[in-house]
Structures are given as structure tokens and as C-alpha cells.
Chain A
Amino acid sequence: MDPGLLSRIQFGLTASFHYIYPPLSIGLGVILVLTEALALKTRNPLFQQMTRFWTRIFGLIFALGVATGVVLEFQFGTNWSTYSRFVGDVFGSALAAEGIFAFFLESGFLAILLFGWDKVSPRVHMFSTVMVALGAHFSAIWIVVANSWMQTPAGFHLVQAALRQRAEITDFWTMVFNPSAMVRLSHAVLGAWQAAAFFVLSVSAYYLLRRQHLEFAKASMRIGLVVAVVASLGSFATGHQSALLVSRYQPAKLAAMEGHYPASAPAPLSLFGWVDEKAERVVGTTVPGMLSFLVHGDTTKPVTGLAAFPPADRPPVQPVFQAYHAMVGIGMGLIGLAFLGAFLWWRGTLFETRWLLWVYVFAVLGPQAANQLGWFTAEVGRQPWIVYGLMRTKDAVSPALSVGQALTSLAMFLTIYLALFVLFIYLLDQKIRHGPAADDLEMAYHRR
């Protein structure tokens, strides 16, 4: 046991647990903007009821997101102080910008979204909802920019300071628009929309199966399906773009994602399989030359493999391979589910297809799993580097941190997060069982 390993486990745990919530609030923000705009335009009380119900769910999810997110802002300093000293000049500004441009906006206008129904006009309320959704997206922008800088650093130079070397900004916009930032941002945001869309589908399907709140459930499901189709297709497209960038800027990560060992050879694409790390090959179903085709548009062109890197510079292969393939598999399944639903909607039989509704009830877990696996691929695939090619993870840990301290905090977070998760599921279930209140129809917009 060393403090570095414990810190990695702790960061993984806290970040993964946090990332249950922000995708839902980013995506639900979009859905709230849609339903409230429809309510404002059509004056149909059903849309008001939907806005009120999903706002209540949003409030619960947002609170958990805030509670678990504060930890992350300080963890760079507590556990990764050497990293913080090295990157502060570059990475810190993205984090500070997130606070100033995103967190204030989101939490400030959330007050009006949740508690301001009777205090402001419908238009001001609509504006607040848009600001909350915008704030959630701004937050995604800055944090993905910061993380992308760790994957594909740009816009900086290394300077020898008094005690140690550090990275200093040379061009802010080059740093912000580092090679992978915008593609990874769109992939993350679309994954968030998927998470919320399938969440809405799950709750709506549950009501339809129980024959409760039928009008509400049908209307919610239609909106959920529209977002699900758009976001699933978008995830597919941006995922492909993202893999191309990995092949260009982080070839070792791509090689691990596909279990491709030969230093330079045409590469097959594995659909699924098991990496035999001793024999340096993948056992499973593969399409010959397909990875070369996806990367270069030519099945015979070579792709850099793990053998091109000294063992000390290779990421763990099996976990990255499995996480990546599971993410892609789930992503494909979600596209199928979204399109099947849209097709049945068009045929007019969606709400009677009970087996699909049952699948939807559980499909809420799909985007959650895919989002986690995607980050796992990105972060573990970057190893052994914390900043790709510049600083190794093992050199980034706080020297002042002891094993005892790291164990204490890890045990503390593990306990609290488990308890929180149980409570969250319990209260979410209560809210869903309670359903959209009948008086939501009249309660909205007292001032109209």
C-alpha cells in the first residue's frame, strides 16, 4: 500500500460517484428547458405539470451533485500537491473559470427554478431555467477542457522555477482548444443527454406499465425519445471522432483499447474478446483490417501497437480493453433502443409494447454505465501519465500524505458515499412513486 495507490482509488471513487449526478442534471436541464418552453407557448397544463415534476427530481439530483462535487475541487491539492504545483499555472485557470462562469450561474438561478414559481413572472422563470441548463453545460465545458489538457496538453511551455519545473501558459485559447477538448466535450455532453433521456424514458415506462399518470407519461416519453435519438446518434459520431484523436495523440491508449500489440502493423477491430497479455494477442471475434480502416480509411495501413512503447510507458491493457468494448456495446444497444422506440411511436404502438417498456425501465442504467466506462477508458488509458507525456502519476502525489491519512479519508468517503447512494435511491423512488401531483396542474404560474 502506498499513498499514491490509495489516492488513485479515492479519486476514482469520488469522481465516479460524483459523475452519477452531473450527467443527469445536464440532460434534465435540457429537458426542463423543452417542457417549460412548450408550457409557455402552448399554455397546456400538462407541460406545466411535467416541468414541476421533473424540477423536483432535478432538485434532488442537483443537491447530490453539489454535495459530492465540492470534494473534487480540493482533492487536487490534498492528494496531488506535486501535480498541482506543476500544472497550477495552466490547469488552475480552467478550474477557476468553472467556478466563476458555471457554478455561480447554476446555483444562483436554481433558487428561482426551485423556489421562485410564485415570486417571478413565467418569463423570468423560463429565463432562470435556461440559465441553470446553461450553467450545467458551462461546467461541463471547463472541466472537460481541463481534463483534455491532461490528455493532449497544448498552449504551454516548461519553465524551471526556483524549486522545480512547472508548466506555464503561453496561449490561453490554445490551451482551451487543445486538440481533444471540443470532441471530448461534445461526446461527454451527449452522453449526459442520453443519461437524462433514458432516465425520463424509464420513469415514463414505469407509469405506463402501472397504468398511472398516463397522459403525463406519454408526453414525457415522447420528449425523452426525441432527446434519446439525437443524443445516441451524436454519441456515436463524436465517439468515433474521439477515437481518431486518441489514435493520433495517444497511440498507446488506442493500442490498449483494442489490445493491439505489434509495433506497426495493420490492425483488426475486436467486437468482443479477452486480451491474452502473456501471448500479446486478443482472443475473440475480430474484423480483420477494420481498425486500420477506421483510423486511416485503408485496411492495409499500419496502426501503432503496444510493442512500440517500453513497458513502463504502457497503460494497463485488459481493463482498458474491456471498459472500452463494454462502453461501445452499451452505446450500440442504446441506439437500437432509441430507434426501436421512435419506430413504434411512428407506428402508433409504442405505449402498448409492454416488453419494450420493461426494457426501458431498466435501460436507465445503460447510459450511466457507458458514461462511467468511458471515463474509465480515458483515465486508465492515459496511465502511467497524469499529464500525457509530461508527468507520471506516481510522481504527482502529495509528499506530505501518509498511508494512514489516505486510508482514513478513503474509508470515510466510502462509508458516506454508500450511505448517500442508498438514501438517494430511496428518496428518488419515493418521488417517483408519489408521481406528478394533481395540483401541479393549477399550482404553476399563480400570477398568470
Chain B
Amino acid sequence: MLDLNLVWFGLVGVLLTGYAILDGFDLGVGALHLLTKKDEHRRLMINAIGPVWDGNEVWLVTFGGALFAAFPEVYATVFSGFYLAFMLVLCVLIFRAVAIEFRSKLPLRWWRRMWDVSFSVASIAVSLLLGVAFGNIVWGVPLSAEREFAGTFLGLLHPYALLVGVTTLALFMMHGAIYTVLKTEGELHAQARGWVNSAIIFFVLCYGLTTMATLLCLPHMSQPMRDYPVFFAVPVLTMLAIANIPREIHRGHDVAAFFSSAAAMAGLMALVAIGIFPHLVLSRPNPELSLTIYNAASSPKTLRIMLVIAGIGVPIVLAYTAGIYYIFRGKVKLDPMSY
């Protein structure tokens, strides 16, 4: 018997992982943007993500739609509960889109500098805020019996959530640095290689801290591994993927490094999924009020209909997305249609 709720837990996770891997590299490129000084280099950075960034953001939008359809209670509780945080994310996403679009439209120095700063600050802020939101989901949030968020905005900014926020930023910066190495040549390429090494160190430090904090403060996250040792494969494979990144970079296999980094991100998401299952929003301090994949879901009929929609849609999306990435493979060049 197919557990539809479990399937949708997986599918929503896949959408969020797809978002992290794809928008992760363009947010990372944005976070690193101000480290380049020359206008030409900054244009190259933006045009490296130029054809794909808005498609990457669609993963977030579709994740929102899928969450609404499959787990409406979670969609309602989380977005109304994290109101100011999400409004901030939305505003910052608007700024970022506009900065990419408008930056190179005028040749004025102050104009470009203004949008460069907007683009970079917005990319950093989105990464941090999404990470903080994610940290809160893992940590748990106060919920009322009516399934409404019962905390405050400042209450969301506790140390664990902030740590996850910084770790997310570090992860995206590492991912974005590898992507920059992949898409550029010459001077910028050499500079980006340096970023990769620093970013890996920054990320591994953050990741180590987060792991320790999780093991110490959140025993439920590692309980499944004690119960089913087979799950230990996930953190081990994730560690191997992370360790493989500097190795591939060192050997000049930039594509392999990028896929390693993507695999590491998928591994991290799988770790979180295993840890929180079957909860989607953990209630703290009253775990019995938590939203789970069973009590927060749509009817089986809707889950089945949605599975058909996803079954038709997702393979097509993956096919042409891969095709488009293939068409835009190779080093980025500036031409008259560029940003």
C-alpha cells in the first residue's frame, strides 16, 4: 500500500532540495559579487547566472504551491506565523530580481554600484533568512491548539536558528564559488578558485558547529539513526561528498566539484528529512500539537490527483531544464543581449 503522505513528504522535499541546489548557486554568486572590483567581472558574475536565475526561483514558488496543495495546514501555519520574516524574504527577492535586471541598463557608476550592493546584500539576506526559517523548523516553534504560531518574530532569532542561517549562507557561498569557477576564465577564474578554498573552510566550520549543536540539543534529530543504523549511510555519504569537493577542485575537475557540492546539499536535506520525520512543524514545548505529514495533509484524493500532476509535469520540467543548462554550458561571454 502506497503511503501518499510519505510520497508527498518526499516530493515537497525534492522541490526544496532542487531549490537549494539551483538557487543556492546563484544566491552564492550574489553573496560573492562584491569581492570582484572590475565592472567587467561583475557583469560576468551576473551573466553567469543570467539565463537561469529566474527559472531557479520558480523552484521556490512551486515548492510553495505544492506545500499549499499537499499540506495546507503547514502552509497556513508557517507563512502566517513567520509573517515578518517571510515578508522580508519577499521584499529582498524583489530587490534582487530588480537589481539583476536594472544594473547594467545604465552606464553610470553610482547606478551600477547601487545595484551591485543591492544584489549582493539581497542575496546574503535571502540565504540567511531562509536558513533561519529552516533552523526554526528543525528546532521547533510554539504552536497553539488551533495550530497557530504562538511565538514572536524575535523569538525566531535564537542562537540555533542563527547558526543554521550562517551555515546556509556558507553552503551557498561555497556552491556559488564553484559555479563561478565553472563559468569563468582568466583573472576572474583564478580569483574564484581562491574563494572556493576559503568558502569550503568557512562551511566546514559552520557545519561542524551545527552538527555538534544538533547532537547536543536536539536528540530527536539523530534518534532515527540509533533506531535504524542503515541511516548512518546518509551522513557518511554527505561527508564523503563534502570531502570530495576540494579534491576535485585541486585536480581541476570543476564540473565534478559542482556535482559533489550538489550531492552534499541533497545529503544535508536528506539528513534533516530523516530527523524531523514524521513532523513537518515541530511544536515546542508541546510536541503533541505538532503538525505531521498525516494530520496536516490534504485528502488522499487530492494527494493522488497531485501525484498525477507531478508525474506528468516533473519529468518534462527536468528534461527541458537539463536541456537548457546544456545549451548554456561552457564559459560565459558578454554580448549585446547580456545584462
Contact = CB atoms under 8 A, between A and B. Distances in A.
B101 to A, nearest CB: 4
B313 A416 contact: no
Interface string A63-105: 1101111110110111101101101111111011111110111
A109 B320 contact: yes
A339 to B, nearest CB: 37
B51 A114 contact: yes
Interface residues of B, number: 68
Contacts of A412: 87, 91
B64 interface: yes
Contacts of A97: 65, 309, 313
B70 A92 contact: yes
B68 A71 contact: no
A111 B61 contact: no
Interface in A172-199: 172
B275 interface: no
Contact of B305 (A76, A93, A443): A93
A439 B336 contact: yes
Contact of B65 (A98, A114, A169, A405): A98
A90 B299 CA distance: 10
Contacts of A249: none
Given A108-B324, A115-B338, A169 B299 contact: yes
Nearest to B98: A67
Nearest to A66: B54
Interface in B285-339: 295, 298-299, 301-302, 305-306, 309-310, 313-314, 317, 320-321, 324, 327-328, 335-338
A88 B93 CA distance: 25
Interface string A40-76: 0000000000000000100110111011111101101
Given A93-B305, A108-B321, A163 B147 contact: yes
A313 interface: no
Given A73-B64, A81-B77, A115-B338, A68 B94 contact: yes
Q: Taking chain A's interface residues, is the majority helix, strand, or loop, or is none over half, making it mixed?
A: helix
Given A78-B83, A93-B309, A413-B91, A63 B299 contact: no
The interface size bin for chain A is 35 or more
Given A77-B68, A97-B309, A67 B299 contact: no
A167 to B, nearest CB: 10
A117 interface: yes
B72 interface: yes
Given A168-B302, A405-B83, A84 B76 contact: yes
A423 interface: yes
Contacts of B84: 405, 408-409
B135 to A, nearest CB: 19
A401 B90 CA distance: 17
Most buried by B among A87, A114, A439: A114
5 contacts: A70-B57, A74-B90, A89-B69, A400-B80, A420-B98
Interface of B: 50-52, 54-55, 57-58, 60-62, 64-66, 68-70, 72-73, 75-81, 83-84, 86-87, 90-91, 93-95, 97-98, 100-102, 105-106, 146-150, 153, 295, 298-299, 301-302, 305-306, 309-310, 313-314, 317, 320-321, 324, 327-328, 335-338
Interface of A: 56, 59-60, 62-64, 66-71, 73-74, 76-79, 81-82, 84-85, 87-93, 95-101, 103-105, 107-112, 114-120, 159, 162-163, 168-170, 172, 398-401, 405, 408-409, 412-413, 416, 420, 423, 427, 430, 437, 439, 443
